[in-house]
Structure 1
Amino acid sequence: MDFIADFLVRFLIQFQSPTLGFLIGGMLVAALGSRLKIPNAIYQFIVFMLLMKIGLEGGIEIREANLVAMALPAVFSILIGLCIVWVGNAIFAMLPGINREDGIATAGLFGAVSASTLAVAIVMLEEESIIFEAWAPALYPFMDIPALILAIVMANIHQKKEEKGTDTRVNVWHIIRESLRGSALSALLLGLVLGLLTNSESVLNSFYDPLFRGFLSILMLVMGMEAYDRIKELRSVAHWYAIYASVAPLVHGLIAFGLGYIAHLLVGFSPGGVIILSVIASSNSDISGPPTLRAGIPSANPSAYIGASTSVGTPVAIAVGIPLFIALAEIVFGL
């Protein structure tokens, strides 16, 4: 009962937080038919700023990190991303009225990671004074890249099997290169390298850190407007996508929480780090994933996988998932 009460309190408080407030505000603005638009160039710049800040902090921390302690969470991140895509594909393959490529792309997007959801989780953990390893957000690419690669490989193999007499081999290295060239991963990895190899503490503290929360609020506003627009697109495809998007983030996050707890016992992974791992597992890519999948699985319908992710999956991961994992951590670790 204490867990349920704590979760409900956190859930209600979350609706008063600026982060979720801007998300809901964006949805309301779009629902009222407002012509408010945030130029795409500004949106891309904000995403770059957020990921650079996260990357710089992670790179600075990795300098002093115990690489052995980091290795196990990184391996778990890879396994989680692969398993989400594999199981998600199997689920969609059994459901009626689902196009196979659409199902694979949806599983791939939910196996990949949302930079915005990660940023929200970091802010909430800081507000709660929950300590986590600064390199924990750097687990992002360990889950994101394998998930996207596996989804594209599976879709290509399926398509080639449908074309009788064709070779089913897929150029995996080409997919890896394209994934790494994505704007979100490029920014995050650039920040990691700069934080690791340069004395970047001054620019982080004086420039990136003070702007972080303001830029995050604008990002949430944009996501809210896009979420409302995608709801209309989601209605045109099978309702299974909405059901999957409502349940999958929480299931994925709970699985990651269990693996994170194992890492806590074996290598001392912090409770905050366990929460971060759970959040990135529950999230679904909204920045790097869609363009990667559009290019890698062009036959898939974006209304299905992006609609499920943006209009349902992301709000569930932020509004329900983050408070749930924090409340669960308080019970398990006695925070």
Structure 2
Amino acid sequence: MSTLDPVLLFFLLGLAAGLLRSELRLPAAVYELVSMLLLLAIGLKGGIELARQPFGDLALQALAVMAMGVLLPLVAFPVLRFMGRFPRADAASVAAHYGSVSVGTYAVATTYFASRQIEFESHMPFLLAVLEIPAILVGILLARGFSRDMRIGTVAHEVFLGKGIVLLVGGLLIGWAAGPEGLTSVKPLFFDLFKGILALFLLEMGLIAAAQFGSLRQHGPFLVLFGIGMPLVSSVVGIALGLGLGLSLGGTAMLGILAASASYIAVPAAMRISVPEANPTLSLAASLGVTFPFNVLVGIPLYHAMATQAFALTGGLGS
């Protein structure tokens, strides 16, 4: 009999506690520390393997993933603008969230794959970092156009030097430079305790997701439909790209998961600076109130099954 992964049970605990209006809450400093450890751990793991990859192959994959990061918000924007009847700024902001990526979803997916001995390309954290950026720039352009109000310098600082990118890319570089032997002394904290760190992170994410349910009631069923429908469409794009790039079955499924996830860290910070008139509640209600729980509880195994079926039908194209 299969059981739910303990880290998912932590998420459900946080979700239930939030819906029942419990006083449970991680102290802000603890949540900040847990987030930092999670980002660094993912970066370090990817960095160890990054040095072993041919640069030419990585560059091609990075460009393809960046193109996907441009495409997805362009798909989401007209749906939000014309079907959801969102104001331009709100439609652009939500679209940017869904073109970017969720580190938390990736972390849950890694534990799901590990528990089932599913191998995937070890440089996925590098592609995750690459996917953070294009959608932010596209979202700003959709909201602003090429106007003087863009504040390019401020936006670039927030995008490229924001906490999430600095920790993730920094972890990649440290892992790349130190190698597995050099990281032995920090292995107990960043590698051995990874699932415990993730469990605490998901406990808080469950509480935050529950807090967004009020906004979902206020703005009607459209955000719920979009928060489920858009990841399904995006996952197909990610899986198709994985097949085209010749990734393994696990790598193809993981790229589908990355495409299907929605940002709730980097993009909100950038949108707050660049598109201050956008309502952040709409974006977070969709990404945290709908998409994150859907992906964590249902989406990850679903996208893996979709990738498996795609591999069976195509024979894994480039593999």
Using structure 2 for the length normalisation, give the TM-score.
Answer: 0.91
Q: 1:203 and 1:106 mapped to 2: Cα distance? A: 41
Tell me if 1:327 matches 2:315: no
Query: Which residue in 2 is equivalent to 1:273?
Result: 251
Counterpart residue number, 1:151: 139
Question: Matched residues in 1 for 2:61 and 2:297: separation?
Answer: 25
Shift of 1:247: 0.7
TM-superposed CA distance for 1:131, in Å, is 1.2
Amino acid at match of 1:244: F
Structure 1 residue 227, shift from structure 2 partner: 0.7
Partner of 2:86: 98
**Could you say which residue in structure 1 is the equivalent of 2:229?**
247
1:36 to 24, 37, 44: 24
Q: Structure 2: which 5+ residue stretches go unaligned?
A: none
Which residue of the other structure, out of 35, 50, 59, is the alignment partner of 1:71? 59
Paired letter, 2:194? F
Between stretches 138-147 and 168-177, larger displacement belongs to 168-177
Aligned to 1:288: 266
AA aligned to 1:290 is P
Q: CA deviation at 1:250?
A: 1.4
Shift of 1:303: 1.4
Task: Letter of the 2:177 partner, please give it.
Answer: L
Q: Letter of the 2:32 partner, please give it.
A: Q
Distance 1:171 1:98 in 2: 24
> Does the Cα contact within 8 Å between 1:106 and 1:304 map onto a contact in 2?
yes
Does 2:164 match 1:184? yes
| Aligned residue pair count | 311
How many angstroms apart in 2 are the aligned matches of 1:108 and 1:152? 8
Matched with 2:242 is 260
SS in structure 1 opposite 2:67? helix
Residues 206 and 51 of structure 1: is their aligned pair in 2 closer, same or farther, counting only changes over 3 Å?
same
Contact preservation (8 Å) 2:140, 2:150: no
Residue type of the partner of 1:131?
E
Q: For residues 276 and 66 of structure 1, what CA distance do their matches in structure 2 show?
A: 20
Q: Distance in 1 between matches of 2:86 and 2:57?
A: 41
SS at match of 1:129: coil
Deviations 1:108-133 (A, max 9, x none): 01111111000001111111111112
1:179-219 Cα distance to aligned partner (Å, 9 max, x none): 12221111101101111222443145332101110010111
Distance 1:185 1:36 in 2: 29
| TM-score normalised according to structure 1 size | 0.87
Task: Give the aligned partner of residue 174 of structure 2.
Answer: 194
Structure 1 stretch displaced more, 315-324 or 112-121: 315-324
1:59, 1:194 within 8 Å by CA — same for their partners in 2?
A: yes
Does the 8 A contact of 2:100 with 2:135 survive in 1?
Answer: yes
Q: Are positions 1:231 and 2:213 aligned together?
A: yes
Alignment partners' CA distance in 1, 2:82 and 2:150: 25
What SS does the corresponding residue of 2:219 show, helix, strand or coil? coil
Tell me the secondary structure at the aligned position of residue 21 of structure 2: coil
Relative to structure 1, is the Cα distance of residues 33 and 169 closer, same or farther in structure 2, using a 3 angstrom cutoff?
closer
Residues 12-57 of structure 1, C-alpha deviation per residue, up to 9 Å, x if partnerless? Answer: x5x7221221111111111222111111211111111111111111
Would the aligned equivalents of 1:109 and 1:290 in 2 still touch at CA under 8 Å? yes
2:103 aligned with 1:124, yes or no?
A: no
Partner Cα distance (1:68, 1:321) in 2: 32
Q: CA RMSD in A?
A: 2.1
Paired-residue identity, %: 29
Query: Aligned partners of 2:311 and 2:79: how far apart in 1?
Result: 33
For residues 292-303 of structure 1, the aligned pairs below 5 Å read 292-303=270-281
In 2: Cα distance, 1:293 partner to 1:220 partner: 24
User: Contact 2:158/2:269 (CA < 8 Å) preserved in 1?
Assistant: no
Deviation at 1:171, TM superposition (A): 4.5
Alignment partner of 1:304 is 2:286: no
Shift in Å at residue 137 of structure 1? 2.0
Distance in 1 of aligned mates of 2:27 and 2:117? 35
Distance 1:206 1:218 in 2: 17
